[in-house]
Structure 1
Amino acid sequence: MSPPHAGEAPAAGSDAEWAATAREALGRHAEALAERFDAAVDVDRLVAERARVVDRHVTEAWQRCIADDGPLALFAVGGYGRGELFPHSDIDLLVLAEPDAQRQHEDALARFFSLLWDAGLPLGHAVRSASQCTEAAGADITVMTAILESRPLAAPLPVRQALEAAIAPSLVWPARAFFQAKRQELRERHARHGDTSDNLEPNLKDGPGGLRDVQTLHWMALRIIGTSDLESLIAVGQLGADEVASLERERRFLSRLRFGLHLLARKHEERLRFDYQKILAERLGYTDSDGVLAVEKMMQGFYRSASLVQRIGERLLQRFEEQIEGEPVAEPIDADFELRRGYLAARDEQWPESPDDVLALFSTWASRSDVRGLHSQTARALAEALSAFPDYASAPPALHARFMQLLRGPQPVATLTRMARLGVLGRWIPAFARVSGRMQFDLFHVYTVDQHTLAVLKNLASFASEEHDERFTLAHEVWPRLRKPELLLLAGLFHDIGKGRGGDHSELGGDDARLFCDTIGLNPAEGSLVEWLVRKHLLMSTTAQKQDITDPEVIHRFATQVADRDRLDHLYLLTCADIAGTSPKLWNAWKDRLMADLYTATRLALRRGLEHPLAATERASENREAARAMLAAFGTEDDEIEALFARMPDIGFQRGRPDHLAWQAVSLRGVRPGDVRVRVRPVAAHASAMEVFVHSPDRDGLFDAIVATLDRLGLAIQQARVHDGPDGTIFDSFEVIPADSRHIPAGQDVEQKLESTLSGTLEDVRPPRRTQPRHLRHFRIAPQIGFDDTRGGRTQLSLVCTDRPGLLADVTRTLRTQSLRVHDARIATFGARAEDLFQVTAVDADGNDQPLDETRRQALRDALLACLEGDAR
């Protein structure tokens, strides 16, 4: 006998033969579905067809085990009950039977379930009586929801009616309670995913705006209205035809992503991980173009879909609430707006009659702190009016003035966020619409461009708050100096708006900002400031993280580019907000101090005048005297101060801060020749960040040993400053932060471990070996190694490569094996990208430091590549 076609019920035989034949048939059908998926067959047809094929096998297995006239009934529940099955979705079944029948048919049911397992079906099942269904559903709303979507597979009409009666609103979960519980469930589920769909690895099913949100609306409609068909909600005024069409369009798009994800993962996977994103984008037909990767296009489609699902879902939740609670009593605000159960609503059914009405809505919203949100009817009216809302280039001057009033009024950032979420900002500034939902396929930018922009604006708003944010040392002091904060908000709005166009986004954004400022009527000076901030928004960050800001020449160059204190104030605040808004993990104590130090040094340089740059000798003298004053204030005698200073390197006074120098000096008390002294102190206002000072006799491998030990202690080095002291000693300083904020070593433990290690044999000190995190495997960066000569006869090594745990320790060990000395190091990590700078020298036959010649450079390049290529393997 020839085998059955894909999807056909298998022939009779032993249970083992039946299960094997069923597994084979289901496998062939799965392959056929995958081929049809790749041929762009409608995904609703595919999930429905898979459910029908599974139905055939489930019902035949039931017939093999349970007599037709037996006192048991079989139902599909959950997603399977809806009649849709994705490639690896669970097969959820409910057997309805009274307790006596359950006991009587226990062996038959065990055989039935075993058959399905052996056939390869991912089975979930429950055996309950009608009263047990009532009890279970009442105790757990997820059980209630699953039964709510039950579909009979082998159940006569009376049994179906009995199941419906078992979960009737009179017994369990009446409409109000069901709605409140499902709404709370939705909120908690969103909270577990960070209350945003803009995650780098979003959950297509359970994340905000995912398929579960659409299903929740169906469940609510079924319990409250009596139908799960959203189209039927049009007739009762709960949804507009356009809203239903949008929900269905986005549901199909999300379903297609989920179907493809299941195929790629070959398992029940709902999280769109980096492992699958590029492959799925290719499988769905996306291609790279105009500097935008195919995966970025696919993900932008997801983020936009999820955002729209959330937006329409919020409206429908309100309407369900009104269906249950009744029409609210309106509380007038003014002639145009009112509150309905705390939601802001337009009083005129014809609203909006003009674009000015739309901006008036946001103005009224900003003036009230008691608004829960936008009323669903007004939100829908706004959505329908968006196509008629002009962009700023074609808007009249009165609308320009109204927009600027919003920026100058109360809650300007909240207003911009609302405008963005409701689609108004994208209409007003078309370039913002182009970056809405736009992600960048890396680990540095953890938000879409529009969400990052809103996060930056939120950070700027926090600087104006009366509640001091301890993450930012100077921001709350600088903010009050701004004469027109709205200009900084405009710069924040435009700073990344040029991304995704294939050019320098700072320059493209600067062009956009200038055109916007000119069009809406800002004066030339104001427009120039906004444009300059957008073009230079990366200047302060790159200067602080990639250059030595203790060098007076670096400060003078930066101050010359900034030119005046007003620009400096704006740039400092924008830089802090930008870095902190890029990733929750990116802003740390080290970056805070870097930006604060650069800001302070530049402000002093501007006050002194750019025509009077500070020389290194002057800086050293100023630092020495300031450190002396600090020590004297704590009772240190002049003679002791001079003795301590004499044991410290001169360059330290040029490059250090006075408090740092005074701390190092005190640390030298009691140190005898040959001693190792380590001191640790927290960075001011940041308990988790530390400064580590190491004073020791110099010897080969010392720097490598320090780095390896700090790595073992779970401390990530952000900056290393290596100075040679008198009498063959070293003065090394490290800025460190915990690699894992959950495990912060005590300063005393760091001191003891380092002193113990450095007092022993250094040859045995090795960095720990760690497994590379999963997500880093998808962001391989081709190593870039460069060399430059610096002042003072040193060679600067620049290294760009994929970051990983223990990278710095391995690099410094490679430097050690090449017999090189490290004099300075700056460590920067941007997502998966490490960008490190080292100042190194070779040692000649007389023990003198020399820059690296070409032979040495090539040897070091080869050794580093071998180290990094070993990681790739």
Structure 2
Amino acid sequence: MSGAPNDREAPPHREPAVPALRRLADPIPRSGVDASARLGLRQFLADGDRDLTGAFGDGVAATRLVAARAAMVDRVALHVWRAWLGDREGMALLAVGGYGRRELFPHSDVDLLVLTAGPIAEARQQRALEMFLSTLWDIGLKPGHAVRDADGCRRLAGQDETVYSALLDARPLAGDDALGTALTASLPDQRLWTPLAFLEAKQADRVARRRRFGDTAYNLEPNLKEGPGGLRDLHLIAWLDRIAAATLLDEDERQAVATARERLFRVRYALHLEAGRPEERLLFDHQRSLAQRFGYRDESRRNLGVEQFMQRYFRATSRIAAACDDAIDRALERLEPAPPTAVPIGDGLVRIGDRIALDEAVSLEREPGRLVTLFASLDRLPGVTGLRASTTRRVRRLLRDPAFDPDRADVLAAVREVLEGDTVQAVATVSTMAHYGLLARLVPGFARVSGRMQYDLFHVYTVDEHTLRVLGFMARFAAPDPSGEFALARSIFPRLPQPSLLLLAGLFHDIAKGRGGDHSVLGVEDAQQFCAKLGLPRADIELVAWLVRWHLLMSTTAQRQDITDPEVVHRFASEVADWERLDYLYLLTVADICGTSPKLWNSWKDRLLSDLYGATRFALRERRELPPLAAERADACRDRARRLLDGRGIDAAAITRIWSVFPESSFLRYSPDQIAWQTAAIAQADTLPLVKVRPEGLRGTSEIFIHAADREGLFAAVTAVLDRRQLDIVEARVVTSRTGQVLDTFLILDAHGHTLSAEACGQIERQLLDMLERQAFDVVPAVRTLPRTLKHFQVEPRVVFRADPVRRRTRLALICTDRPGLLAAVAQALRDRKVRVHDARIVTFGERVEDFFEITDDAGAPLDAAAQESLRAVLMDRLLPAAAPASASA
């Protein structure tokens, strides 16, 4: 990670000099706060905030700055209170919540409690209180306030744990000191909340927060306050210390949390300054500018400054979340009425209730291999929910110890035994090893990618989180599931001779992310070294290394190339070489896609990969030097299509007549099912144009078939219609009959990656027919607002042409930033340059679009150099006006 001069942990520093604070030491008249005084107070706050901002830029610890700002607001609140209300008895002013904890960030709420001895009956007193609050608003503090008597406070606190916890942080500011102190000194109070009931309520709230914020500390737009490892977890640790009347974390743990707390505070402080408001989400809008503020710089396109910045943030929140977990466990055990009976379960382990513990006589330092056994037992025993707190502490201390040697023979032997055991249990144990930090000690590369994000919209998890999710999908392939999901993967998995090798490939496939080079190449060495340490045979090591090196091959081949082309399949099969590698690679590819984002896997990708898998198995079985001849493939397609048409009431003569105008390319580029569907539609049609849409088409998509007179701009017009319905075109095939009519297909999904309903298909048929029957096409794309997230991710646009002498066409690759209506706009540009589209494959990776077209000029000839440059200029100037710097490329 590159250095960040303004982002290091702050050194010991004197209290920041805030000259404005000294002004309030002078006596303040109690006659009220007139307009001039309010202006002075507003200026005082502005001067103080400016001084604090300067101190923050100088590297003063954020934990000290928030306390200084709270002290500054204390002075102002006390000043205004005394000016309007004096020190009368029966009324006190208290700071609560974050203000009560002396944690005021630049735009934090100033939460106040006005505590009264009883109802405020005197009108003058009520008016004075109103003026106190309005003055605070006038000078810019925007206080949140409540006015209650002590009984009302206690009643509400007993009903709502959030009110109770806010009062735990309360501190008196002004007014009747005895009244305020009486309330704060009475808390915590078991008559309102028993410690165990409070802890259970906070646990339920924490679970609900995790569910709302993605159940992971690695949400790529994290909430600093409510998200896992955020401020709420820090507060909970402090509250648990109070209700348990104990220090729940040891000195090393407290120091680690303090370091992480300072990191979180600095980020939140800077975020408030950057946003100019009390923003709590670390949105993409702010991440890059915050990274620059803290001094991070792009090292390469694969190691951006913003990624380095976010990695440090994620590591801090992960540390806080783990400490909060430990504090909860220790508090629960401390507060439980009576510990359950300890039941020995072998291997030096005992079961206590729903948790397991390591016998005190067992020394992890002398027998570190027992650590792996402990984690394996944790995931193997039914009903066990975790480790006892004492055992967790022993584990944490061992893994923090620099003397711990993860390469000891007993440790590695235990790891290998886990990996070669039941796959589902192996994945669970590896995840537990990652949670407690053992995996990071075993595999240094995993430690380096811990918290490592990729600044794009394609990878929605950090690298370590993604890796564990990939392994999780592999475990799903190994487990029975009556739903039928991942049917092909589940049928392949039992054939694997060594599932452990698949797990190792999954563990190492992204291990080299962020190192500045091709991670597929760089990760090979890490995988080889670890497999050698495990003592695997050379052939197994080579297979794992091959899978790491080529883990993207199947995905890129399926999505970026035409897998109905035998040459494409032949090249892929030649690289894969045998069925065993193909099985491993297919499973790794599916798990990798599913573990990248919940939105990526759909029926289209499922069928696309399964089709490539099937075609490759056939090619490997045939073992032909060259792909099948085109004539053989076309004849095979015709034979299969005729069999599919049997029983549909179409005589052989009609089929022959229809096929007589089909170009030979139809039988090479369309499947037999598509040919049969198209043929039946034409046979049953009375007139042209003909449009048919079926909900379940090729490869898990909905499919459109258009048979109409060939007209200029037809492709652009169709894409414009589909774009207005916000449908995704994943593939388009443009075929012209021998009589000059189009036989086009479009494979589509809705905006959520699903096929269409029968009703939606009928609506699309009518819309397309209406468009085709017009004299002039409407090809203007719909204008839609660019989503917020896309504004912050700009891919450097590229337009690449390549000749295809066999088909006498030009291949166009368009790589750019996604945006609403992009394909329709591209189609319009092609139409304007009189370019004909014969094939289109549409691939989107988050914000990155990679579209591939086979094109010719209007006469059906490949584009010459001049035409290519003209088209390139149109695409770059009209469609991609905002070219981003290379460092911002995904």
Q: Into which bin does the TM-score normalised by the smaller protein fall? A: over 0.9
Equivalent residue number for residue 526 of structure 1: 540
Residue by residue over 1:64-98, the C-alpha shift from the partner in whole angstroms, topping out at 9 and shown as x without a partner, is: 21132243110000000011211110000000114
Question: 1:671/1:570 Cα in 2 relative to 1: closer, same or farther (>3 Å)?
Answer: same
Shift of residue 669 of structure 1? 2.9
Question: Which amino acid counterpart does residue 366 of structure 1 have in structure 2?
Answer: D
Question: Which amino acid counterpart does residue 609 of structure 1 have in structure 2?
Answer: R
Could you tell me the TM-score, scaled by structure 1's length?
A: 0.94
Equivalent residue number for residue 228 of structure 1: none
Shift of residue 263 of structure 1? 1.0
Contact between 1:679 and 1:692, CA under 8 Å: does it hold in 2? yes
Contact between 1:15 and 1:115, CA under 8 Å: does it hold in 2? no
Equivalent residue number for residue 91 of structure 2: 72
Shift of residue 744 of structure 1? 5.8
Equivalent residue number for residue 369 of structure 1: 382
Equivalent residue number for residue 824 of structure 2: 809
After superposition, where does 1:65-144 map in structure 2 within 5 Å? 65-101=84-120, 104=123, 105-144=125-164
727, 742, 750: which one aligns with 1:738: 750
Equivalent residue number for residue 339 of structure 1: 351
Matched, 1:297 2:284: no
Residue by residue over 1:383-403, the C-alpha shift from the partner in whole angstroms, topping out at 9 and shown as x without a partner, is: 11115588998432x443321
Counterparts of 2:554 and 2:333 in 1: how far apart (Å)? Answer: 52
Counterparts of 2:40 and 2:659 in 1: how far apart (Å)? Answer: 87
After superposition, where does 1:236-315 map in structure 2 within 5 Å? 238-289=248-299, 292-315=303-326
Question: 1:84/1:451 Cα in 2 relative to 1: closer, same or farther (>3 Å)?
Answer: same
Residue by residue over 1:462-489, the C-alpha shift from the partner in whole angstroms, topping out at 9 and shown as x without a partner, is: 1111115655352112112111111111
Matched, 1:704 2:716: yes
Shift of residue 255 of structure 1? 0.8
Question: Which amino acid counterpart does residue 728 of structure 1 have in structure 2?
Answer: G
Contact between 2:695 and 2:756, CA under 8 Å: does it hold in 1? no
Matched position secondary structure for 2:240: helix
Contact between 1:7 and 1:25, CA under 8 Å: does it hold in 2? no
Contact between 1:549 and 1:598, CA under 8 Å: does it hold in 2? yes
Question: Which amino acid counterpart does residue 308 of structure 1 have in structure 2?
Answer: R
Counterparts of 1:347 and 1:859 in 2: how far apart (Å)? Answer: 77
After the TM superposition, which of the residue ranges 98-107 and 263-272 deviates more from structure 2?
A: 98-107
Residue by residue over 1:810-829, the C-alpha shift from the partner in whole angstroms, topping out at 9 and shown as x without a partner, is: 11111111111111111111
Matched, 1:859 2:873: no
Shift of residue 433 of structure 1? 1.0
Question: 1:611/1:103 Cα in 2 relative to 1: closer, same or farther (>3 Å)?
Answer: farther
Question: 1:128/1:590 Cα in 2 relative to 1: closer, same or farther (>3 Å)?
Answer: same
Residue by residue over 1:516-561, the C-alpha shift from the partner in whole angstroms, topping out at 9 and shown as x without a partner, is: 2233221222111111111110111111111111111111111111
After superposition, where does 1:261-660 map in structure 2 within 5 Å? 261-289=271-299, 292-325=303-336, 326-348=338-360, 350-352=362-364, 353-387=366-400, 394-396=407-409, 398-410=410-422, 411-467=425-481, 472-611=486-625, 613-632=627-646, 636-660=650-674
Contact between 1:589 and 1:683, CA under 8 Å: does it hold in 2? no
Matched, 1:34 2:53: yes
Could you tell me the TM-score, scaled by structure 2's length?
A: 0.92
Question: Which amino acid counterpart does residue 865 of structure 1 have in structure 2?
Answer: M
Question: Which amino acid counterpart does residue 711 of structure 2 have in structure 1?
Answer: R
Counterparts of 1:721 and 1:471 in 2: how far apart (Å)? Answer: 29
Q: Percent identity?
A: 44
Matched position secondary structure for 2:694: strand
Shift of residue 634 of structure 1? 5.1
Contact between 1:473 and 1:596, CA under 8 Å: does it hold in 2? no
Shift of residue 183 of structure 1? 0.9
Question: 1:474/1:742 Cα in 2 relative to 1: closer, same or farther (>3 Å)?
Answer: closer
Question: 1:439/1:390 Cα in 2 relative to 1: closer, same or farther (>3 Å)?
Answer: farther
Matched position secondary structure for 1:597: helix
Counterparts of 1:392 and 1:705 in 2: how far apart (Å)? Answer: 66
Question: Which amino acid counterpart does residue 20 of structure 2 have in structure 1?
Answer: H
Question: 1:703/1:391 Cα in 2 relative to 1: closer, same or farther (>3 Å)?
Answer: farther
Shift of residue 789 of structure 1? 1.0
Matched position secondary structure for 1:571: helix
Counterparts of 2:210 and 2:548 in 1: how far apart (Å)? Answer: 34
Counterparts of 2:652 and 2:345 in 1: how far apart (Å)? Answer: 71
After the TM superposition, which of the residue ranges 322-331 and 496-505 deviates more from structure 2?
A: 322-331
Question: 1:449/1:478 Cα in 2 relative to 1: closer, same or farther (>3 Å)?
Answer: same
Question: Which amino acid counterpart does residue 614 of structure 1 have in structure 2?
Answer: P
Question: 1:281/1:816 Cα in 2 relative to 1: closer, same or farther (>3 Å)?
Answer: same
Counterparts of 2:693 and 2:320 in 1: how far apart (Å)? Answer: 55
Contact between 1:287 and 1:293, CA under 8 Å: does it hold in 2? yes
Counterparts of 1:372 and 1:764 in 2: how far apart (Å)? Answer: 62
CA RMSD of aligned residues (A): 2.3
Matched, 1:771 2:781: no
* Structure 1: tracts of 5 or more residues without a match: 226-231
Counterparts of 2:612 and 2:529 in 1: how far apart (Å)? Answer: 31
Counterparts of 2:612 and 2:573 in 1: how far apart (Å)? Answer: 10
Counterparts of 1:122 and 1:33 in 2: how far apart (Å)? Answer: 19
Counterparts of 1:727 and 1:751 in 2: how far apart (Å)? Answer: 24
Shift of residue 165 of structure 1? 7.2
Q: How many residues align?
A: 854
Counterparts of 1:714 and 1:753 in 2: how far apart (Å)? Answer: 14
The higher-RCO structure (CA 8 Å, 6+ apart) is 2
Counterparts of 1:394 and 1:165 in 2: how far apart (Å)? Answer: 53
Question: 1:371/1:299 Cα in 2 relative to 1: closer, same or farther (>3 Å)?
Answer: same
850, 858, 865: which one aligns with 2:861: 850
Shift of residue 405 of structure 1? 1.1
Contact between 1:676 and 1:759, CA under 8 Å: does it hold in 2? no
Contact between 1:88 and 1:122, CA under 8 Å: does it hold in 2? no
Counterparts of 1:519 and 1:445 in 2: how far apart (Å)? Answer: 31
Matched position secondary structure for 1:74: strand
Residue by residue over 1:407-454, the C-alpha shift from the partner in whole angstroms, topping out at 9 and shown as x without a partner, is: 122311111111111110111111111111111111111111111111
Equivalent residue number for residue 229 of structure 1: none
Shift of residue 220 of structure 1? 2.4
Shift of residue 316 of structure 1? 1.2
Matched position secondary structure for 1:668: helix
Matched, 1:58 2:71: no
Question: 1:170/1:388 Cα in 2 relative to 1: closer, same or farther (>3 Å)?
Answer: closer
Counterparts of 1:142 and 1:685 in 2: how far apart (Å)? Answer: 51
Contact between 1:322 and 1:328, CA under 8 Å: does it hold in 2? no
Contact between 1:133 and 1:166, CA under 8 Å: does it hold in 2? no
Matched, 1:820 2:832: no
Equivalent residue number for residue 9 of structure 2: none
Counterparts of 1:444 and 1:157 in 2: how far apart (Å)? Answer: 57
After the TM superposition, which of the residue ranges 197-206 and 15-24 deviates more from structure 2?
A: 15-24
Counterparts of 1:16 and 1:470 in 2: how far apart (Å)? Answer: 73
Matched, 1:173 2:188: no
Contact between 2:115 and 2:180, CA under 8 Å: does it hold in 1? no
Question: 1:569/1:312 Cα in 2 relative to 1: closer, same or farther (>3 Å)?
Answer: same
Shift of residue 156 of structure 1? 3.4
Matched position secondary structure for 1:863: helix
Question: 1:453/1:335 Cα in 2 relative to 1: closer, same or farther (>3 Å)?
Answer: closer
Residue by residue over 1:648-700, the C-alpha shift from the partner in whole angstroms, topping out at 9 and shown as x without a partner, is: 332121122222222222222322453232222225895xx422222222101
After superposition, where does 1:710-789 map in structure 2 within 5 Å? 710-740=722-752, 746-789=760-803
Matched position secondary structure for 2:601: coil
Question: Which amino acid counterpart does residue 28 of structure 1 have in structure 2?
Answer: D
Counterparts of 2:586 and 2:865 in 1: how far apart (Å)? Answer: 40
Shift of residue 758 of structure 1? 2.1
Counterparts of 1:760 and 1:123 in 2: how far apart (Å)? Answer: 63
Counterparts of 1:486 and 1:684 in 2: how far apart (Å)? Answer: 34
Matched position secondary structure for 1:333: strand
Contact between 1:680 and 1:750, CA under 8 Å: does it hold in 2? no
Question: 1:460/1:761 Cα in 2 relative to 1: closer, same or farther (>3 Å)?
Answer: farther
Question: 1:516/1:166 Cα in 2 relative to 1: closer, same or farther (>3 Å)?
Answer: closer
Question: Which amino acid counterpart does residue 812 of structure 1 have in structure 2?
Answer: A
